[in-house]
């Protein structure tokens, strides 16, 4: 823990080195507004369907303010405040700046920020998800909400120190979320690191995260959740193929509680049929381990999407998804809503605008 902090602190001072005199500042307001009409089968215990307006049919709606200040000598100050929006009701999606709230420094060696932000794992895996973390149609962040655990990554850390740098074809990053527990710095601490290699049409990534719980007095141990990812993508003409795997592990600090493992696999292809029309298909699968025979859902989700660009900033889209589980277990498309049957189908038509 101390070594990680020292390394990130050193990177911070490296960014600051060479700063001479303030020059120019740049501040911008930006956002993404995404809403659609969605029909979903098996939406309650009576297995009835539901039609509703949803916020974030393709990407989560958000708004923010970000900026930079040129400090001279190749050094910049950077900041970002970003909050989520529930476009169907106009309310905030969580606290005011739930998504990001950070300030930091940047130079040719990379960027170091402090506050709340997305983790290295979140940042690096996004490019390898064919559905781009779509709220109801992607399991790269986490799987179906129906199970005991969603067996996923941790998108954001509070109290973080994050570094990211680009060196030729390689991008590297590391994030530490301080546990802030008196006398036990490892309790509630969070760690994430990763690297991406991108050259020509090929991209490869590897990431790892570990999330610590608090020490259990009775055993002297703590819960530890880890998630390791490997992913790759290849572009050829109008096609982009991507695939990845996550190995999830939960080691409990409680006595007589078994370790839990689950693997998530995904693959997809995007085809640019015309300059404006992109067709995407993807499959996601969870292999849940260390449970009694016949007790695992092992769900699989199939998704297809057509996206049409009306302009550089406005798209319309239609997405169709279907999920099915094994052994009579309940499953659902969404990462956030429980399922009520062994399968579910969803169809969303929506519009997205970026500003």
Q: What is the mean pLDDT of residues 160-167?
A: 98
Q: What is the mean pLDDT of residues 184-203?
A: 97
Lowest mean pLDDT among 3-17, 92-106, 197-211, 308-322: 3-17
* Dihedral class, residue 115 (left if φ above 0, else alpha if ψ from -120 to 50, else beta): left
C-alpha distances (whole Å) from 270 to each of 13, 235, 237 are 42, 9, 11
DSSP H helical ranges for the chain: 2-16, 120-125
**Residue in 355, 323, 353 with CA at minimum distance from that of residue 341:** 323
Terminal-to-terminal C-alpha distance of the chain? 40
> pLDDT (tens digit, 9 = 90+) per residue, 30-89?
999 999 999 999 999 899 999 999 999 999 999 999 999 999 999 999 999 999 999 999
pLDDT over 90 at 20, yes or no: no
pLDDT over 60 at 22, yes or no: no
Q: What is the mean pLDDT of residues 188-216?
A: 97
> pLDDT (tens digit, 9 = 90+) per residue, 341-352?
999 999 999 999
pLDDT over 90 at 166, yes or no: yes
pLDDT over 60 at 9, yes or no: no
For the record, the structure tokens of 26 come out as 């740049």
Q: What is the mean pLDDT of residues 257-281?
A: 94
Phi, psi of 122 (to 5 degrees): -60, -50
pTM attached to this predicted model: 0.90
Number of H helices, E strands in the chain: 2, 18
Where do the structural domains in the chain lie, given as residue ranges? 2-354
**For domain 2-354, which architecture applies?**
Beta Barrel (2.40)
Separation between Cα atoms, residue 57 and residue 135, nearest integer Å: 7
Residue 303 or residue 337, greater confidence: 303
Q: What is the mean pLDDT of residues 272-276?
A: 98
pLDDT of residue 119: 98
Phi, psi of 326 (to 5 degrees): -105, 165
pLDDT over 70 at 221, yes or no: yes
For the record, the structure tokens of 243 come out as 């695939």
Looking at the DSSP assignment, which residues form a beta bridge with residue 323? 301, 344
CB 18 within 8 A of CB 74: yes
pLDDT of residue 145: 67
pLDDT of residue 292: 73
pLDDT of residue 6: 46
pLDDT of residue 3: 52
What is the per-residue burial (b if ≥16 Cβ within 10 Å, else e) of 38-69? bebbbbeeeeeeeeeebbbbbbbbbbbebbbb
**Residue in 63, 216, 242 with CA at minimum distance from that of residue 138:** 242
Phi, psi of 38 (to 5 degrees): -120, 135
Q: Above pLDDT 90, what percent of the chain? A: 79
pLDDT of residue 76: 98
**Residue in 37, 86, 35, 33 with CA at minimum distance from that of residue 349:** 37
Separation between Cα atoms, residue 102 and residue 118, nearest integer Å: 10
DSSP 160-199: EEEEEEEETTEEEEEEEE----TT-TTTT-EEEEEEEEEE
Lowest mean pLDDT among 29-38, 43-52, 123-132, 218-227: 218-227
Q: How confident is the model at residue 1 (pLDDT cuts 50, 70, 90)?
A: very low
Question: Residue 102 half-sphere exposure, CB side, CA atoms within 13 Å?
Answer: 24
Q: What is the mean pLDDT of residues 272-295?
A: 90
The mean pLDDT value of the chain amounts to 91
């Amino acid at each position: 823990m101390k070594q990680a902090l020292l390394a990130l602190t050193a990177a911070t001072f490296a960014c600051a080195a060479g700063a001479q005199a303030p020059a120019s500042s740049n501040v911008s307001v930006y956002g993404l507004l995404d809403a659609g009409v969605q029909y979903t089968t098996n939406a309650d215990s009576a297995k009835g369907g539901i039609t509703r307006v949803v916020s974030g049919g393709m990407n989560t709606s958000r708004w923010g303010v970000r900026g930079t200040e040129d400090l001279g000598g190749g050094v910049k100050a950077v900041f970002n405040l970003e909050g989520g929006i529930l476009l169907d009701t106009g309310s905030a999606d969580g606290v005011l700046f739930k998504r990001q709230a950070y300030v930091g420094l940047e130079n040719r060696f990379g960027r170091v920020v402090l506050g709340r932000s997305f983790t290295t794992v979140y940042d690096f895996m996004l490019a390898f998800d064919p559905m781009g973390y779509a709220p109801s149609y992607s399991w790269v962040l986490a799987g179906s909400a129906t199970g005991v655990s969603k067996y996923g990554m941790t998108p954001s850390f509070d109290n973080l120190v994050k570094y990211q740098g680009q060196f030729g074809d390689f991008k590297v990053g590391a994030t530490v979320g301080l546990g802030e527990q008196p006398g036990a710095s490892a309790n509630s601490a969070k760690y994430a690191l990763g690297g991406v290699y991108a050259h020509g049409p090929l991209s490869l990534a590897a990431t790892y995260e570990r999330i610590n719980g608090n020490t259990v007095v009775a055993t002297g141990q703590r819960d530890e959740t880890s998630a390791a990812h490997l992913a790759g993508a290849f572009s050829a003409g109008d096609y982009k193929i991507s695939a990845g795997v996550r190995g999830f592990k939960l080691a409990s600090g409680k006595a007589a509680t078994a370790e839990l493992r689950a693997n998530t696999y995904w693959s997809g292809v995007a085809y640019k049929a015309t300059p404006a029309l992109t067709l995407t298909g993807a499959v996601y699968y969870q292999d849940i381990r260390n449970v009694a025979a016949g007790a695992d859902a092992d769900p699989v989700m199939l998704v297809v999407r057509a996206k049409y660009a009306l302009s550089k900033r406005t798209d319309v889209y239609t997405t169709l998804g279907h999920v099915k589980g094994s052994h009579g277990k309940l499953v659902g498309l969404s990462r956030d809503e429980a399922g009520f049957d062994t399968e579910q189908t969803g169809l969303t038509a929506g519009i997205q605008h970026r500003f």
